[in-house]
Structure 1
Amino acid sequence: MKRPEVVRDYGGISAVDRRAERRAKLLAAGRRLWGESGPGEVTVRGVCAEAGLIPRYFYEQFPNRDALIFAVSDDVRDQLLEALVTAGVGDPGTLADKLRSALTAFLDRIAADPHIHRIATSDLSGVPGLTEHRAHILDMIADLIVAQAPAVLGAETPAPAQLRRGALFLVGGVNQIIESWLDNPVETTTELATISADLCETVVRSIIERPQDHTHH
């Protein structure tokens, strides 16, 4: 019969908290290495050295280095989405005001952390599946737009199919604008957010004013 694992506290810190702390250290180390030198420099040995942990603790959290890279990518994604949603929902103004606030917060977060900038612009071809995984963030943002639209647009909210298509169009377009800006950040974050918000509002208004789609048989 297998003996149950004994989980002890050390120095008042539980085993669960210790594992969480080690995971946070590994994620931070992976983020620094990726942000300073690119994903190719994120290795098990390098991350462990950076985090001050032995490999056993790495494999306690991640099956391989690719899993850590995915986790770092998700961590950055969640921070950016939190900034986007908090600012957009928190602004009590018009649709344009909410869009400007959300996009400014999103861009400010990228601009303030050079690691995020590098992680957001890295060539991901060396990590199988990561390009497709990152692209999923666009679907997540589109889902957020669809979920938040009724609270902002009220009775003007388009039909679900139109709203979803419009959200995908907005997200894809703004993503291209941001990617171009990351390569050559001429405008300030506020200027770019205003440009993007104005374009988004134009698209939204055109969808609202357009007659409902009809399916022809």
Structure 2
Amino acid sequence: MPTSSTVQRRYRGAAAIERKAQRRQQLIDAAIEVYGRNGYRHSGVKQVCEAAGLTQRYFYESFAHSDELLIACYEQAASQLRENITTAAEAVGDDRRERGRAMLLAYFRALKAQPLIANLLLVEIRGISPDVDHAIMRELQEVSRNITRVVARPDHQPDELLRAGIMGGVIHIALHWMSTGYRQLPEDVAETAFKLGGAILAE
């Protein structure tokens, strides 16, 4: 039978793990804000820690270097965005065309509503390091598979190169839109992007 001291040690151990996880999340949330606003290349560990309300020793408790934190930020933001657009697609029913439209509209609305995250996901993440590039490729492949699952015919798997081309085209539309200060309405941008995405639906 465990003694009270054993139970206390386990409790303290669990509490310490929870506190570490909380600090890690604080750093990720702060870094998304700092990187999105100032740019990754112009932001250091000190700035992120100050924004998180933590000392620098806690940074190295969770991350070996800034690139690791950048990847964690990217993966969290991308995962949340992917979940949001999938939910939007599934909410409109089974029509594949309407699902495609709903995904794109949710995507562009999210970018406009959260410009710092948009900047992180599409601008600041590029050309940092091979590890960061690999993280981008993993996420784009996951997004591509997810879109295919939601909008393509169940009995058909679209060409991999076609999927990559559509993804690249949608991203470039988003980048151009961002560069104009989100001048067009998200609905109009989504309809433009849908012309690309329609290639999957046509197969």
Conserved? CA contact 2:74–2:125, under 8 Å: no
In the alignment, the residues of structure 1 paired with residue 137 and residue 178 of structure 2 have an alpha-carbon distance, to the nearest angstrom, of 17
**Map of 1:121 onto structure 2:** 123
Higher helix share: 2
Conserved? CA contact 1:100–1:193, under 8 Å: yes
In the alignment, the residues of structure 1 paired with residue 21 and residue 119 of structure 2 have an alpha-carbon distance, to the nearest angstrom, of 26
**Map of 2:138 onto structure 1:** 136
The C-alpha deviation readout for 1:164-188, integer Å capped at 9, x for no partner, is 4443332222222222222223321
Partner residue of 2:185 out of 173, 188, 196: 188
**Structure 1 residue 176 and structure 2 residue 177: aligned?**
no
Deviating more after overlay: 181-190 vs 22-31: 181-190
Conserved? CA contact 1:84–1:106, under 8 Å: yes
**Map of 2:24 onto structure 1:** 23
In the alignment, the residues of structure 2 paired with residue 164 and residue 128 of structure 1 have an alpha-carbon distance, to the nearest angstrom, of 22
- May I ask how many residue pairs the two structures share in their alignment? 194
Larger Rg belongs to: 1
Amino acid at match of 2:126: L
**Map of 1:47 onto structure 2:** 48
Amino acid at match of 1:153: R
The TM-score normalised by the length of structure 2 is 0.82
The alignment yields a C-alpha RMSD, in angstroms, of 2.6
In the alignment, the residues of structure 2 paired with residue 127 and residue 48 of structure 1 have an alpha-carbon distance, to the nearest angstrom, of 22
Structure 1, gaps ≥5 residues long: 208-217
Aligned ranges for residues 81-100 of structure 1 at < 5 Å? 81-92=82-93, 94-100=95-101
Q: Residues 187 and 135 of structure 1: is their aligned pair in 2 closer, same or farther, counting only changes over 3 Å?
A: farther
**Map of 2:61 onto structure 1:** 60
Q: Residues 98 and 146 of structure 1: is their aligned pair in 2 closer, same or farther, counting only changes over 3 Å?
A: closer
**Map of 2:3 onto structure 1:** none
Amino acid at match of 1:136: R
More RCO (CA 8 Å, sep 6+)? 2
SS of residue paired to 1:92: coil
**Structure 1 residue 146 and structure 2 residue 148: aligned?**
yes
Structure 2, gaps ≥5 residues long: 1-5
In the alignment, the residues of structure 2 paired with residue 146 and residue 105 of structure 1 have an alpha-carbon distance, to the nearest angstrom, of 16
Could you tell me the percent identity over the aligned residues?
A: 23
In the alignment, the residues of structure 2 paired with residue 43 and residue 127 of structure 1 have an alpha-carbon distance, to the nearest angstrom, of 16
In the alignment, the residues of structure 1 paired with residue 125 and residue 24 of structure 2 have an alpha-carbon distance, to the nearest angstrom, of 25
In the alignment, the residues of structure 1 paired with residue 31 and residue 134 of structure 2 have an alpha-carbon distance, to the nearest angstrom, of 20
